[in-house]
Structure 1
Amino acid sequence: MQAAQIDALMKMVGGPRDSALLRFSIGSALVSAGRSTEAVAHLEQALAWQADYSAAWKLLGRARAESGDAAGAIDAYRHGIAVAEARGDVQAAREMTVFLRRLEKQQAGG
């Protein structure tokens, strides 16, 4: 089921419906399918089009962390927290703060 959903979404890339929401949806489907490394590029594109998309920042942090890029995940969470706070998206900021602290603790060897 996920593969069919991903294929259907990917067919829209580069067309008139290509947007931040489409790229976020592709990224989300890829992460759910265990394909986080592939998701990163789509989430980065979503943020290139809509830099204040806090959910995309949160998912980008997760995708980078799951891909083994802890430094990139930390960077994404920091940006995402700033965006979420500026938008008043308190819950997203809190969630990303928790994920950020966990990664920073892991990086510090704790």
Structure 2
Amino acid sequence: MRESLEKMLAKGVDNALLRFGLGKSWLDEGNAAEAAVHLQRCVDFDPKYSAAWKLLGKAHQAQGDLIAARQAWQQGLDAAKAHGDKQAEKEMTVFLKKLDKAQH
């Protein structure tokens, strides 16, 4: 899966969906740093992509960057609310609450 996405990127195809797929693939493989690079590009392409914000926050959290995780989830929450994406909104609200509890 990831190899074919990497080949597309190498050929010059670059868009939010491709970057989301690469980011998710890297995150699933445990490489949060590489995932964060692709997920950041994804939200640069499409700031309303709430699922990408959610995974970007997870990638930052996995690297121990809780400030960046919080920022990603807050931006994702705004995107989810603007689009009526209730599921992503609920999930990121929970992530932020857990982050708050962990920091107190």
Q: TM-score, normalised by structure 2?
A: 0.94
SS at match of 1:12: helix
Which residue matches 1:31? Answer: 27
Give 1:7 shift.
2.3
- Is 1:17–2:3 an aligned residue pair? no
Give 1:11 shift.
1.7
Indicate the RMSD between aligned Cα atoms, in angstroms.
1.1
- Choose 14-23 or 33-42, whichever is displaced more: 14-23
Q: Structure 2: give runs of 5+ residues left out of the alignment.
A: none
**Could you tell me how far apart the structure 2 residues matched to 1:82 and 1:65 are?**
19
Q: How is 1:35-46 mapped onto 2 (pairs within 5 angstroms)?
A: 35-46=31-42
**Could you tell me how far apart the structure 1 residues matched to 2:4 and 2:61 are?**
26
Deviations 1:60-85 (A, max 9, x none): 01111011111100010001001100
Deviating 4+ runs (over 6 angstroms): none
- Is 1:73–2:69 an aligned residue pair? yes
SS at match of 2:64: coil
**Could you tell me how far apart the structure 2 residues matched to 1:67 and 1:21 are?**
23
SS at match of 1:68: coil
Q: TM-score, normalised by structure 1?
A: 0.89
Letter in 1 for 2:15: S
Q: How many residues align?
A: 104
Kept in 2: contact 1:74–1:104 (CA 8 A) = no
Q: Structure 1: give runs of 5+ residues left out of the alignment.
A: none
Taking only the aligned residue pairs, the percentage that are identical comes to: 43
Q: 2:86 aligns with which of 83, 90, 94?
A: 90
